[in-house]
Amino acid sequence: MSTDEVSVALSSPRPMPDYAPPQDVIDELVRFANSDERPWNLGYHALVIPLDDKRVLKTSSTVTLKEAKAMEYVRQSTTIPVPRVHMAFEHGDDGYIVMDRVEGKPLEALTMLRMTAAEMVNIVKQLKSILTQLSQLHPLSPDEAYHGWPDDPFPVHAFGHEHPTHRLNSLEEFFNYWAMGKHEVLPFGPEHRGSVLAHGDFKGGNIMVLGDQVTGVIDWETFGYYPPFWDRMTIYNWLCVFDHSKDAADEVVGEPDDVVMDFFSIMQASYPI
């Protein structure tokens, strides 16, 4: 099946609010995704296949309808640049999401290295706005229940070791999961407690940039309820690769406190995120 034929199939009506396309479109997309002729990029957990100049198909056994619905929930509730979902379905053991193609490149080390200090500050200001908007979707709650969105355990592939099979019902339980029982519980204070909605994997590989603009935030399978420091901790440590990016993070986001930084170090020792 050619890319042009896929594009024609995508022009069919999308009648269902659950993003499921007609069966004939499903058949064509599945066939194309498994053909030798299709172009593809290998993401961390999935294949990302260009369909045309405007859309891509993400597919793997870890892609779910829940991720598609999370993307649309965030996109419609905020100004965060999330790719629009055109259709989503499951077939066999795999999930499929057709979404907008995002311009730019991931905020990886090479991308940051080429940026000026002023460009880096502008990027980090946008990242801070994204974190603020996410936290406002579910204002800080005293409920210490950490789980995927809307109400399931964190997804199987989100974390590097055995995944939680239930909600983690306290910050201590959340910490012990990450520390794998090998460290004493850190002295968490009131400022560390409660839960907010967070991306869950807010690092450079999931942030697309073009020039000094954030063009998209991708890979929402980890979206869920986390401690209030979670996304800030992740992106801060990601930005500490170079002096100018660390300076921007210090200026705009601010360095997390010692307890949070210790938490990050313990997680990296257990599983590099």
Which residue among 100, 117, 148 closes a domain?
100
> In Å, how far are 144, 146, 193, 194, 242 from 141, measured between CA atoms?
8, 11, 9, 5, 35
Which of 32-36, 96-100, 112-116, 226-230 comes out lowest in average pLDDT?
32-36
Name the domain boundary from 41, 74, 100: 100
> Which CATH number belongs to the domain containing residue 123 in this structure?
3.90.1200.10
Q: Is the pLDDT of residue 70 over 60?
A: yes
Nearest-CA neighbor of 94 among 64, 124, 119, 66? 64
Distance CA 44, CA 225 (A): 22
Which pLDDT value is given to residue 129? 97
Q: What are phi and psi of 182, to 5 degrees?
A: -105, 0
The kind and range of the H/E element at 226 are: strand 224-226
Binned at pLDDT 50, 70 and 90, residue 90 comes out as very high
CATH number at residue 27: 3.30.200.20
- C-beta separation of 14 from 23 below 8 A: no
Domain count, the chain: 2
pLDDT of residue 220: 95
What pLDDT, on the 0 to 100 scale, is given for residue 38? 66
Mean pLDDT to the nearest integer, 33-62: 81
Give dist(CA 131, CA 126) in Å, integer: 9
- Judge whether residue 6 has pLDDT over 70: no
Q: Tell me whether strands 105-106 and 207-210 are parallel, antiparallel or unpaired.
A: antiparallel
Which of the listed residues 54, 78, 100 is the one where a domain comes to its end?
100
**Residues 186 and 172: beta-carbon distance below 8 Å:** no
Degrees to nearest 5, angle at CA 238 with 128 and 178: 100
Q: If you average pLDDT over each of 5-9, 20-24, 46-50, 190-194, which comes out highest?
A: 190-194
| DSSP-based helix, strand, coil % in the chain, nearest 5 | 40, 20, 40
pLDDT at 256 over 90: yes
DSSP E strand boundaries for 43-124 = 47-50, 55-60, 85-91, 94-100, 105-106
Q: Are residues 81 and 113 in the same domain?
A: no
User: Which domain does 119 fall in, by range?
Assistant: 105-270
- Judged against a pLDDT cut of 90, whether residue 152 lies above it is answered with no
Q: How much is the pTM?
A: 0.88
Tokens of 186: 């850190």
Do 201 and 226 reside in the same domain of the chain? yes
**115 and 96 co-located in one domain:** no
The verdict on 46 and 86 lying in the same domain is yes
